Amino acid sequence: MADDAPEMPDATPDATHGAQTAQSTVPQHTSPQHTSRSTLAVAATYLKPAAVTALVALLLCIPLIALKTDAGGTGLILTQRWDWVATLVGLAFIGRLFIEIFMATQRIRARILLTLGAFIVICITLTILRWPEIQKFVASGGGDGRSLMPIITHIAMAIVAMILLRGLIQATGARAGILAPSPPSAPTITSASEQPKPDTAETQSTGEWLRTIAMWSLGPALAVFALTLPFNPYSDRYIMDLAILVLTYVMLGWGLNIVVGLAGLLDLGYVAFYAVGAYSYALLAQYFGFGFWICLPLAGILAAFWGVILGFPVLRLRGDYLAIVTLAFGEIVRVVLLNWYQFTGGPDGLSNIPRPSFFGLEFSRWPKEGQETFHSFFGLDYSSLHRIIFLYYIILALAFVTNYVTIRLRRLPIGRAWEAMREDEIACKSLGINTVTTKLSAFAIGAMFGGFAGSFFATKQGFISPESFVFLESAIILAIVVLGGMGSQIGIAIAAILLIGGLEYLRDVGFLSVLFGEGFDPKQWRMVIFGALMVAVMVWRPRGLIGNRTPAVVLKEHKSISADLVQEGHG
Amino acid sequence: MEYFVQQLINGVTLGSIYGLIAIGYTMVYGIIGMINFAHGDIFMIGAFIALIFMLMIGITGATSLLFLLFALLVVLALAMLLTAAWGWTVERLAYRPLRGSFRLAPLISAIGMSTFLFNLIQNIQGARVKPVPPIITGGYTIMEGNGFSVIVSNMQIVIVITTITLMAIFSYIIAATPLGRAQRACEQDRTMAALTGVNVDRTISLTFVIGAALAAVAGMLYLLYYGVIDFYIGFLAGIKAFTAAVLGGIGSLPGAMLGGLIIGLIEVFWSGYFSTEYKDVAAFSILAIVLIFMPSGLLGRPEIEKV
C-alpha cells in the first residue's frame, strides 16, 4: 500500500482536469462553484471510492486468500499469504482510482495518456514489490529460456493485439453487416449489408472507405490465410495442432451460433451433441468397423436426431429456463457416458479410434497387407506431418461447409424465421410462422454441426472419454459465440482465434510467475482469466466484440439498435 | 421399514441444505428475473470460509460443549458476513452494470462469474479435497428391528433446527420489515417501486447479501455434515438447489424449502433403492420434467406473458 503514495500527485492534475471536462457539459452557472473547490476536495472525490474498493477487496481477501488450507501432519493446517493480499488490495485501489478518473476524462488523448500512466505505475509497483525475484531472474540470464527479450515481445504483442482489436471494433462498427454479399431480394426488402447509409450529417470520408475495405477484405483474407497455413514456413507441428484446435472451436462456435445467435435459443448443453458425435463415430468404428468417411455423416445425423429429441420437450421453454434444461441435458449425457461401463467404457473412455484415410490411402509408415500408403502413392518421404496437415484440411473444409450452409440458410425462409423468432416470438407466431419446426430445425442443424465436429475430434484424438465433454466446454463455446457478437460469422472466427489462442498463449508466459511469485502458474490461472474475461466482455460490450445482431433483412429503413437499449451506465 | 425411515431422515437433512441454497436462487429470480448461476459457487465459498475460520479457532470434537457452541456460532457469523461480502461484490461487478441489458446478458455474465469463482478457489485453496474431523458427534437410536437401527445423529438435528430457525427469521423479514416490503415491491414492479421511494439498487443488493448469507449457512452445515469439501461442490449443489427452487415455484420462499426437501428425499431414496451413479440424472430429469409440465412449480404463481 505504501507504493500508492507516489501515485497521488500524479493523479491529482489529471483529476482536476477530468473534473473540469466533466463539468463543462453541465450548465454554465455551476462553474464558479467548481473553481472554488480545492484540489484536495477534487482528489478526495476520486480517492474515496478507491479506498472503499480497497476495503472491500481486503474483506474479500481476508479468509480465502490470506489463509490457505494445506494438508498437514494430522489434519489441515493454514498457510499465511499476506503478501498476496497486499498486492491485490493495492491493485484494487489503483484499478478503481484509474476507472474513476478514466470515466471523468472526456478527451481521447487524455484517456490514452492516463492508460499509459496507469500501466507504468503498475509496472513500477510490481517491480518494487518483486525486486529481489526480478534481480535473481535477470542475474540468472532469464533461466531456462525465459530471457528479458520475451517480456518485451509479449508486451509488444499485447499492445499490437489491442490496437488491432480496437481497429477491428471501429471498422466493423455496431451495425455493419460483415456477412458474405447477399443477393438483393424483393424491392422493398433489401439486405442489411447492402442497405445504403441513412441520410445523416456524416459524409463518406477516407476513413469510411477504409472501414468498408477492411470489412469486406477481412473474411477472404482470413480464409486465404487459413488455406495456405500448412505451407507457411513457420508452421511446425505445434502451430498445426493449435490451428486444428482453433478450427474445431470455430466450427463448434458456428454450429452453436445457429441455435444461439440466429434462433436466439440459449443452449448450455451444446457439448452433449459434440459428445454424441464423438461417441457415435467411436462406437460405430468399434462395433461395426466403419471408417471415418462413413461415420461422419452418420454422426451428424445421430447428433441432429438427439437435437430433435432435446428440442421436443423444451419447445415451451424460453430464455433462462431453456438454458437450465439444456444444461441438465448436457450433464445427463455426460453422466450416462460415464456410468454405462459395458457400452461406452465409462471413465476409461474409448481408445484405438481409427484414423481417417485419404481415398483409401493410409497415413502410416508401413502399409498394411495389399494396401498402399499416402507417401508411397505420391512418392513422398514419410512424414508424420502429412497426417496432421490432412486433418487440418478436413476440419477447415468442415468449417467452411458450416459457414457456407449458415450463410445460405440465412437467406432461406427458415433462416429468416430463426431471426424473426429471436427478435420476437409472439409476433412470429401471430404472423403464422410455425415456431415448432423453426425451433426444432435450429436445434437439429446446430446439433448436426456439433456432431460433425465431435466425430472429427474423436478421429483426431484417437481416444475419447467423458472428461472431454464437461460443462466448461459448453461455456467456452458459448463464450466464443458471445464474444464474437451473436450472429456474426467472422466475429465468431476471430473470437475463437483470440480465445483459444489466448488460452494456449497463457500456457507459456513464464515471466508472469516472476512478477507474481513462484506460486503463480499461468497454466492454472487460465480458466480464472477466462471467467473474468467473460464477465468483462458482457459488462463492457453486451453485444459482443463485433456486435452483429442486425437482422439479415430490413424493411425500408434501417433502425440501428440504440445505445440506451444495449447498455446502461457508463461508456 | 427401518431402512425407509433412515432414508427419510437422511433425505430431510440433505433437503434442508438444498432448501437453504434454493432460497438464494428464488429470491434473486423473484426480484430481477435472472438465474444467479454463480450462487452455487457462493455456497462453496461459504463452506471454505467456514472451514478456514474453524481451523483458525481450532475447533475439534474434543473441546467442551459450551466452547464448541460459542465457537461454532462465531464461525457461522463470520462466514455469513464474509460470504455476504462476496455475494454483494458479485452482484455489483457482474450483474448491476447489465441491468436493463438484453435478457441473456446477465445469465452469460453469471456463467463467467461461476467459472471465475470456482477456478479461483481451486487455485488459491488447492484442488485437493479438504477433510475435517467430525465435530458434532453422537446421536439417538429411535427405532430398532431386523438388525437395523435407525439413528438420528446430533448433526442432523442441528441442521434441521438451524434451517427451521433461519426460515422463520427470513420469512419474518420478508413479511414484516421495511426491507421485505421493499423487496416484494421490487418483485412486482421495479419502476413503480422506485417511484414510491424504494431504493431499488440497494434492495437488490440486499437480496443478494441475504441469499449469500444463507448459502454460507448451508455451506457450513454441508462441511460439518459430510466432513469434506472441495472446490467443485458448488456446481452440482447449485443445480440441484435451482431445481428445488423451480420445483417449489420460483419466487416463493416456502416453495424453495419444500422443493429442497423433495429433491433431497428423491436423491436419497434414489441412491438408497436404485443406483448411486444415476442420482444426479434423477435430479436433472426432475428439473426438466417440472419445467416442461409445471413451469410455475408447486407453490408459484403462473407467469403472465405480456406482449
Q: Which positions ≥6 away from B192 have C-beta within 8 Å?
A: B185
Number of domains in chain A: 2
Residue A421 is assigned to a structural domain of this protein? yes
Residues A121 and A211 reside in one and the same domain: no
Residue predicted with more confidence, A533 or A408:
A408
Please count the residue pairs, one from chain A and one from chain B, whose beta carbons lie less than 8 angstroms apart: 186
In this predicted structure, the answer to whether residue A303 has a pLDDT above a threshold of 90 is yes
Q: Which of B132, B133, B284 sits opposite A332 (nearest CB)?
A: B284
What value does the mean pLDDT take over residues A316-339? Answer: 84
Q: Does residue A265 share a domain with residue A400?
A: yes
Band the pLDDT of A272: cuts 50, 70, 90. very high
Q: What is the pLDDT of residue A274?
A: 93
pLDDT at position A568: 39
Amino acid at B91: E
Cα separations in angstroms, B130 against A141, A439, B233? 40, 45, 11
- A484 three-state secondary structure: coil
Question: Which pLDDT tens digit goes with each residue over B195-233?
Answer: 988 898 999 999 999 999 999 999 999 998 988 888 888
Residue A69 domain-assigned (yes or no): yes
pLDDT at B3 over 60: yes
List CB contacts (< 8 A) between B93 and chain A: 535, 539
* In a domain? residue A178: no
Overall average pLDDT of the A191-201 stretch: 43
Is residue A90 in a domain? yes
Q: What is the mean pLDDT of chain A?
A: 74
Question: Phi and psi for A265 in degrees, rounded to 5?
Answer: -105, 110
Distance, CA of B299 to CA of B307 (rounded, Å): 25
Are residue A108 and residue A215 in the same domain, yes or no?
no
H/E element holding A374?
helix A374-377
Q: Is the pLDDT of residue A367 over 80?
A: no
Nearest to A335 among B33, B51, B278 (CB): B278
The nearest alpha carbon in chain B to A532 belongs to B116
Tell which of A99, A129, A159 closes a domain: A129
Q: How many helices (H) and strands (E) does chain A have?
A: 23, 6
For residue A153, tell me if it sits in a domain. no
Asked if pLDDT for residue A169 goes beyond 70, the answer is no
Reply yes or no on whether the pLDDT at A1 is more than 60. no
What does the alpha-carbon distance between residue B61 and residue B276 come to, in Å, rounded to a whole number?
Answer: 30
Which chain A residue has the Cα nearest residue B296?
A321
The answer on A332 and A241 residing in a single domain is: yes
The answer to whether residues A477 and A343 belong to one domain is yes
Answer yes or no: do B113 and A528 touch at CB < 8 A: no
More confident residue, B300 or A335: A335
What is the DSSP secondary-structure string of A132-168?
Answer: HHHHHHHHTTTTTT--HHHHHHHHHHHHHHHHHHHHH
Helices (H) and strands (E) counted in chain B, each on its own, are 11, 4
**Do A413 and A531 share a domain, yes or no?**
yes
B92-141 per-position pLDDT tens digit? 988 888 887 777 788 888 988 998 998 888 888 887 888 888 887 777 88
Q: A7-25 b/e with 16+ CB inside 10 Å = b? A: beeebbebbbbbbeeebee
* pLDDT greater at residue A272 or residue A225: A272
- Of residues A55 and A568, more confidence is placed in A55
Which residues in chain B are contacts of A59 at CB distance < 8 A?
82, 85
Q: Is residue A185 part of a domain?
A: no
Which residues does chain B have within 8 Å of residue A482's beta carbon, measured at their own beta carbons? Answer: 108
Task: Verify that A116 and A222 share a domain, yes or no.
Answer: no
Minimum mean pLDDT range among A2-11, A140-149, A268-277: A2-11
- pTM of structure: 0.80
Task: Give yes or no: residues A218 and A125 share one domain.
Answer: no
| Of A60, A320, A535, Cβ closest to residue B113 | A535
Q: Give the pLDDT score at A188.
A: 39
A270 band by pLDDT with thresholds 50, 70 and 90 = very high
| Domain-embedded: residue A230 | yes
C-alpha to C-alpha distance for B3 and A470, rounded to whole angstroms: 35
Which residue, of A129, A152, A185, is where some domain finishes?
A: A129
Mean pLDDT of A286-298: 85
Contacts of A68 in chain B (CB under 8 A): 124-126
pLDDT tops 90 at residue B248: no
Instruction: Give Cα A70 to chain centroid, integer Å.
Output: 34
Q: Measured between CA atoms, how close is B157 to chain A, in angstroms?
A: 26
Higher pLDDT, A526 or A201: A526
Q: How far apart are CA A124 and CA A130, in angstroms?
A: 10
Work out the percent of chain A whose per-residue pLDDT is above 90: 14
CA distance A459 to A356: 7
Which residues, at least 6 apart from A35, have a Cβ–Cβ distance to it below 8 Å?
A: none
Q: Summarize pLDDT for B135-189 with one digit per residue, the tens.
A: 877 778 877 777 777 888 888 998 999 999 988 888 888 888 988 889 888 888 8
Q: How is residue A320 written as a grid cell?
A: 433462462
How far is the C-alpha of A491 from the C-alpha of A310, rounded, in Å?
A: 28
Q: What are the tens digits of pLDDT across the range A41-81?
A: 877 888 888 888 888 888 888 888 777 777 766 677 777 77
**Between A99 and B82, the higher pLDDT residue:** B82
Percent of chain A with pLDDT over 70: 70
Other beta carbons within 10 Å of A494: 24
Domain containing A346: what range? 206-562
User: Which 3 state secondary structure label does DSSP give B237?
Assistant: helix
Interchain CB distance below 8 Å, A568 and B133: no
Spell out the residues 6+ positions from residue B96 whose beta carbon is closer than 8 angstroms to its own.
B201, B204, B205
A295: in domain: yes
Q: Mean pLDDT: which of A188-197, A540-549, B251-260 is highest? A: B251-260
pLDDT at A493 over 60: yes
Q: Which residues of chain B does A65 touch, with a Cβ-Cβ cutoff of 8 Å?
A: 124
pLDDT at A18 over 80: no
Residue A385 has what pLDDT? 79
Whether A472 and A377 share a structural domain = yes
How far CA A66 is from CA of A532, A535, B47, in Å, comes to 21, 25, 16
Last residue of a domain, one of A129, A160, A182: A129
Higher pLDDT, A206 or A527: A527
Strand partners, A67: A80
Is residue A560 predicted with pLDDT exceeding 70?
A: no
Quote the cell numbers at residue A467.
Answer: 472428461
Q: Which of A56, A426, A530 sits opposite B85 (nearest CB)?
A: A56
Amino acid symbol at A239: I
pLDDT score of A236 more than 90: no
Question: Under an 8 A CB cutoff, do A320 and B34 touch?
Answer: yes
Inspect the interface and report whether the beta carbons of B120 and A528 lie closer than 8 Å.
yes
Neighbouring CB atoms inside 10 A of A152's CB total 10
Do A67 and B235 make contact, defined as CB atoms within 8 angstroms? no
Q: Looking at residue A398, what is its pLDDT?
A: 92
pLDDT tens figures, B52-73: 888 888 776 566 778 888 888 9
Backbone phi, then psi, for A500, in 5-degree steps?
-70, -40
Half-sphere exposure of residue A363: CA atoms within 13 angstroms, side-chain side: 16
Nine-digit cell at A481?
459465440
Residue A460 has pLDDT above 50, yes or no: yes
pLDDT, residue A548, reads: 52
Whether residues A264 and A350 share a domain: the answer is yes
Residue A33, C-alpha cell as written in the block: 462553484
Output A100 or A361, whichever has higher pLDDT.
A100
Q: Specify the residue for cell string 500512466.
A: A117
Chain center to CA of A247: 13
Residue A183's pLDDT is: 38
Say if residue A34's pLDDT is above 60.
no
pLDDT one-digit tens code per residue, A393-452: 999 999 999 999 998 998 899 999 998 888 888 888 898 988 889 999 999 999 999 999
Residues A448 and A327 both lie in one domain: yes
CB contact, 8 Å: B232 with chain A? no
Q: Do B116 and A535 touch (CB under 8 A)?
A: yes
Q: Report the pLDDT value the prediction gives residue B99, as an integer from 0 to 100.
A: 83
* Position A24 pLDDT exceeds 50: no
Tally of residues, chain B: 307
Domains of chain B and CATH, by start: 2-293 (1.10.3470)
Whether the pLDDT of residue A202 is over 70: the answer is no
CATH number at residue A364: 1.10.3470
The pLDDT of residue A220:
81
Rg (CA), chain B: 19
